[in-house]
A = this chain, B = another copy of it.
Amino acid sequence: MTDVSSRDEVPPPTRRERVRAATVQEIKQVTRRLLVERGPQQVSLRAIAREMGMTAPGLYRYFPSYDDLLVELVADMYGELADLLIEEREAVPGADPGCRLVVTTRAFRAWAVAHPREYGLLFASPVPSLKEIAAPPHSCSSVHLSGMRFGNVFVEAFFELWGWRPFPVPADDELPGGLVSQFVGYRAELAELYGDEIAQVPLGAFHVFLACWVRLYGLVALEVFSHLHFCLTDVEPFFEANLEDLAAQLGIPAETVRRGRPVR
């Protein structure tokens, strides 16, 4: 038992495995570069292969299909985005949970604006495939898992704030009956992940969390898709105003929001 090699731990990667992993990485990088530089329409297996000095069928040694390649790329980008948000949040030393949530939110919008093509791939999936809907609730695909990981960045920041300094939320009997049972289920799911302190959070906090997420999503999506262009040429002040509003709802003082505001 003390012998390391006797266990079936990960054996050291062979040379072959290393170059294979490197190729997989290069394929994803090239795919993403094509997406960014030439748009989603111009991304094709043949274009990727051409860019790498090989032919399209060769890529099938690494991905079972074009869609699988995209799916894996999406999962990677969800992960990257989650990492970035956490990183930016931790880069503010000694920040209170309110500030940390604001930083996370602002970083999300900044990433979306800076990476509109990637954002489109992640958050404007054409239409969810029907099988995904029919899938059992806990059978999580790779995308689903990464998506969860991303979402949980906000979940953590939000409930960290709640634990630090609770804010007003609707009482249980103020929530529609149809919502209560669903929030109970979601809370239980999160409690399984984060421990029992989550189980003490009132259901109204989940309602507020979702409402905030809805607003943030709408804000960023509309900006990235240029759907606010009909009245706003510069969306940033509008975003900051909404952020301040959102923060106020969570008991975060405007001064905390303004402190981290990017200079312009």
* Count of A interface residues, CB-CB < 8 Å: 56
Question: Which one of A14-22, A86-94, A205-213 contacts B?
Answer: A205-213
Flag whether A13 is at the interface (Cβ < 8 A): no
Q: Which residues of B contact A116 (CB under 8 A)?
A: 127
Flag whether A136 is at the interface (Cβ < 8 A): no
Checking B148, B219, B229 against A214 with a beta-carbon cut-off of 8 angstroms, the contacting residue is: B219
- Distance between Cα atoms of A183 and B234 in the complex (Å): 11
Flag whether A52 is at the interface (Cβ < 8 A): no
Checking B126, B186, B221, B238 against A210 with a beta-carbon cut-off of 8 angstroms, the contacting residue is: B238
Contact B126 A211 (CB under 8 A): no
Q: List 16 A-B contacts (CB under 8 A).
A: A120-B126, A123-B225, A124-B225, A132-B226, A176-B240, A177-B237, A178-B234, A178-B236, A179-B238, A186-B230, A207-B241, A210-B231, A214-B222, A215-B215, A216-B218, A221-B221
Q: Which residues of B contact A163 (CB under 8 A)?
A: none
Q: What residues of chain A have their CB less than 8 Å away from a CB belonging to chain B?
A: 39-41, 116-117, 120, 123-128, 132-133, 147-148, 151, 175-179, 182-183, 185-186, 189, 206-207, 210-211, 214-219, 221-222, 225-234, 236-238, 240-242, 245
Q: Is the interface of A mostly helix, strand, loop or mixed?
A: helix
Minimum CB–CB distance for A130 against chain B, Å: 9
- Distance between Cα atoms of A207 and B238 in the complex (Å): 8
Contact B124 A241 (CB under 8 A): no
Q: Which residues of B contact A207 (CB under 8 A)?
A: 238, 241
